[in-house]
Structures are given as C-alpha cells and as structure tokens.
Amino acid sequence: MNNKKIYDVIIIGGGASGLFSACICSDNNQKVLLIEKNNILGKKLALTGGGRCNITNKKSDTQTFLEKFPESKKFLFSPFSKFSVDDTMNYFENTLNLPLKTEANDRVFPKSNKATDVIDAMISHLKYNNTSIFLNAKVTKLLTSKDKVTSVTCNNSTYFAKKFILSTGGLAAPKTGSTGDGFKFLKILGHTIIKPNPNLIPLKTNTKWVHAMSGTTLDNIKISFIQKNKVKIQRIGKILFTHFGISGPMIINTSFEVKKLLDKSNVTASIDLFPDMEQHLLDKKIIELFQKNNNKLLSNVLLEIIPKSLVTQILNFDILKSLNKITNSITKDERKILVTTIKHLEFPITGILGLDKAIIADGGIKLEEVNFKDMSSKLYTNLHLTGDLLSINRPSGGYSLQLCWTTAFVASQNTLQ
Ligand SMILES: Cc1cc2nc3c(=O)[nH]c(=O)nc-3n(C[C@H](O)[C@H](O)[C@H](O)COP(=O)(O)OP(=O)(O)OC[C@H]3O[C@@H](n4cnc5c(N)ncnc54)[C@H](O)[C@@H]3O)c2cc1C
C-alpha cells in the first residue's frame, strides 16, 4: 500500500509571508503543511517595528502605495489588484480579530502595540483551521520532475504536495532564520539570484563625538550627504546617534542611496541644527541670546537652543575649545565660527552596518523569472515565491510586510487542478 503523505500545499518557512500563506490556503480548505526550521513561528516578525510590528502603510490608494517601489511597481500592480492594503487591514481586523490603528506617516500597527499579537492571531487561525505545522524542521532539498516540484526533504523524510510556497525570507537579520536557504534552492533549480546587500540600515562613522552622543535623538535637523564638495542627498527629519554612527527611520531610508555614493568615493555627512533659519538669522538669534545672558558661560547659554550632550561635544571641537567663556567676551569672529559650526556639523560616513543589522537586503530572485499573476516560478509552475525572496527594494514604514501579505495571498490562491 502506498502510504506516502500528500498535501495540497507545502509552505516552506514560517515567517511573515509563510504564516499568512498558511492562513489563506487553509481558509481555502486546502490540506496544508507549514514547515519552519526554528522552534517558533515568526521569529523575525516578533522584532518588527521595534516589537510593535508596523504591519502596513495606509496610503490612499494602490497607485500611491506603489510609488514607493519605483523599480518594481510594474510587476506589483497585478498582485496588488488582487490583495491591497485595505484587503490586508480587513483580513487582520475581521478574520483574524486583530484591531489595528494608524499612526503618523500612515503607518499601521496592532492596537495592542505587540508584534507577538500579530503572530498569535495567525497561529490561532491556523489551529482553528487544523493546519499541520512542523517546527524544528529544516527543508534541505526540493525534488523536481519536469517543470514541477514534487516533494521536499526535511529531517530525513520526504513530503509530497501538489503545490509549494517558498517563504524562506532573504538574508537580513540571519539570526532569525533567514539565512538564504531559499536562494540556494532557487539557484539549483536554475533561477537567477541578484546578490543581496544590506539595505535599510544604519550608517557608520569613525568620528568619536558622534559615538559619544549615542542615545541622543535630534528632531527637525537637516542632514546633507556630500561627495566631492557637492550635496548629493539632503533630508530633513529626525536622527538617532548610536555608538557606531547614525540611525533612525530617515537615515535608514537613505542608506541605499548613501551606499551607492560610498561605492564611488568618500562621503561626508553635514548636519544643520537649524534648517529653518538662514545663517545670518541664526547669528541674530545668538546675538540676542548672548545679550540676554551676557555674564554666563557659553556652555550654559547654548543649552537654551542645543541639547546638553551635543553642547558638551561641540565645545570640545578644536575650533571651539577656546570659546567656552563668558559670552560678553566672545568676539564677533568667534561667534561667526560658532554659528557656521552648528549649521555644518560634519563627519565622514565610513560605511553601513552588515546584514545582521539590516531590516531588508536588496537582491533576491530576478523579477523577470516570476509570474506575478500567481507568484509562481516561470521554471517550476507549482512553485510559488513570497516576501523577501523577491528582489524588490522599498523604504521602511510597513512596506516590506505589506509585500509579504500581498504576495502570500496571491501565491495561496487555489490554483490546484
Ligand atoms: C529588526 C527588523 C524590523 C523590521 N520591522 C519591520 C516593520 O516594522 N515593518 C515592515 O514592513 N517590515 C519590517 N521588517 C522587514 C520584515 O520583517 C521582512 O520583510 C519580513 O519578515 C519578510 O518576511 P518573509 O516571510 O519573506 O521572511 P522571514 O520573516 O524572514 O521568514 C522566513 C522564515 O523561513 C524560515 N526558513 C528559512 N529557511 C528554511 C528552511 N530551509 N526550512 C524551513 N524553514 C526555513 C526561517 O526560519 C524564517 O522563519 C523588519 C525587519 C527587521 C530585521
């Protein structure tokens, strides 16, 4: 008697897109097996949004949403026409009973602020749908016949299915399980993998005063990235100083462009603490400040306009060291040097952090080799691909997870014959 177990769908990887695929396939009454090599599901998902999970980004319509995907939007219109941001929010709120809220910049989070609630909602749904789940189970091989995948090898056993969804993630934050296994499988099957590099990642500097500011956030500052005396990138917003350099959503979202500049030659960052004020107006403001506090030490006076940790650092700059005296003894030239410095706080960018600290990696399977109507491989028609496996760049702000939900939904539609 042939007692080999045949599933309708085997999903490889129980991260964001694998879990969501399992929910949709099991809703469609398919016999599903979800295989995850970790001892828990959704290890990376638990870390998202600083533990709060920025689940999506509620732009007014798909067209506006996809503007954030300039290089890949032509591929994404089809899947997003089948499962949009509204469909996602509706599914989480009404099918998975997970209340959501929308915050600044259209970022959507679970109302509870807990990423683990997103995972638990999907796991409860899978239990309700009687889905088979293997944990501590690493898929090591995909077996094929002609243009079909027939089975997978996992923990020395072979599991068969009519359809396979590969959801093994990319290479960012490998400690969560995304170690690029899927890329290896796809390469063996004959697919092209564009080399993944860290993306959405903090920037490094070797400048001591920046390191010493670790933990300080500066809001409403302008940062310019300069190469060969030309401003190449400029942003206004918030930056976070760290023990290795600078971070925060604005920095992370420029990291891709900064990396491209670094590949060519040196890059200097220049911070303007007062972007809304021309230099002469800032000078005027400082004159007034000095007049008001003419008998006080500069280090105390500056605290009215600059955070303490930064005042301590800038008054240590060689060019400003001699200025920490009573303000009425500061000369016009010295004041001008002070104003220029706080409009142009410069330091070199020496690199980006590695894949272990990246939110996403660019690269992945070449999009031309994927059929976006059902997210299937153009080489193996019953192999479907989701999430970070795809070579798609996007900013932070819920765009990565939305890509997971949409590609997982489309991959999970009932295409079984
Ligand atoms: C710190 C951090 C914060 C983030 N915050 C956000 C955010 O707030 N919003 C947002 O939109 N995006 C965020 N992202 C990005 C987002 O988490 C990813 O885009 C998303 O998790 C990718 O989902 P995935 O299903 O493709 O892969 P993953 O979530 O990486 O899941 C892949 C799974 O497959 C398993 N696996 C791999 N190989 C095998 C194998 N051979 N056999 C069995 N199982 C295997 C892995 O163990 C893993 O569990 C963040 C990323 C990081 C690192």
Radius of gyration of the chain (CA): 26
Answer whether residue 1 is part of any domain: no
Residues 129 and 231 in one domain: no
What's residue 3's pLDDT?
56
Q: Cα separations (Å) of 130 from 22, 26, 37, 167, 398?
A: 11, 8, 20, 20, 29
Pocket lining: 47 vs ligand 1, CB cutoff 6 Å: yes
Total domains in the chain come to 2
Q: Is the CB of 202 under 6 A from ligand 1?
A: no
- Give the Å distance between the CA of 266 and the centre of ligand 1: 32
The verdict on 288 and 154 lying in the same domain is: no
Q: Residue 387: CB within 6 Å of ligand 1? A: yes
Q: Evaluate: CB of 283 within 6 angstroms of ligand 1.
A: no
Q: Is 131 a pocket residue for ligand 1 (Cβ < 6 Å)? A: no
Quick check: is 417 in a domain? no
Q: What is the pTM of this model?
A: 0.91
- CB-CB contact of 348 with 205 (8 Å): yes
The reply to whether ligand 1 has any atom less than 6 angstroms from the CB of 38 is yes
Give the residue numbers spanning the domain of 22.
Answer: 6-198+361-412
Verify that 169 and 209 share a domain, yes or no.
no
> Is the domain of 226 the same as that of 291?
yes
Looking at residue 309, its amino acid is: S
The residue from 310, 335, 353 where one domain ends is 353
The answer on 193 and 58 residing in a single domain is: yes
Ligand 1 probe mutation, 102, 152, 359, most atoms within 8 A of CB = 359
Q: Tell me what pLDDT residue 1 has.
A: 45
CATH assignment of the domain containing 188: 3.50.50.60
Same domain, 226 and 144: no
Whether ligand 1 lies within 6 angstroms of the CB of 363 is answered as no
Which parts of the chain have pLDDT scores under 50? 1
- Indicate if 143 and 236 belong to the same structural domain: no
Ligand 1 site-directed mutation target among 44, 92, 116, most atoms within 8 Å of CB: 44
Whole-angstrom CA distances from 121 to 46, 90, 116, 243, 298 are 12, 14, 8, 36, 56
Task: Using the mean position of ligand 1's atoms as its centre, give its distance from the Cα of residue 271 in Å.
Answer: 33
Residue 325 lies in a domain: yes
Q: Are residues 264 and 308 in the same domain?
A: yes
Based on the domain organization, do 295 and 376 belong to the same domain?
no
Please give the number of the atom of ligand 1 that sits closest to the Cα of 182: 38
Residues 229 and 192 in one domain: no
Tell which of 303, 329, 353 closes a domain.
Answer: 353
Residues 272 and 308 in one domain: yes
Say yes or no: CB of residue 30 within 6 Å of ligand 1. no
Residue ending a domain, choose from 319, 353, 387:
353
d(CA 360, CA 196): 9
Please indicate, yes or no, whether residues 191 and 337 belong to a single structural domain of this protein: no
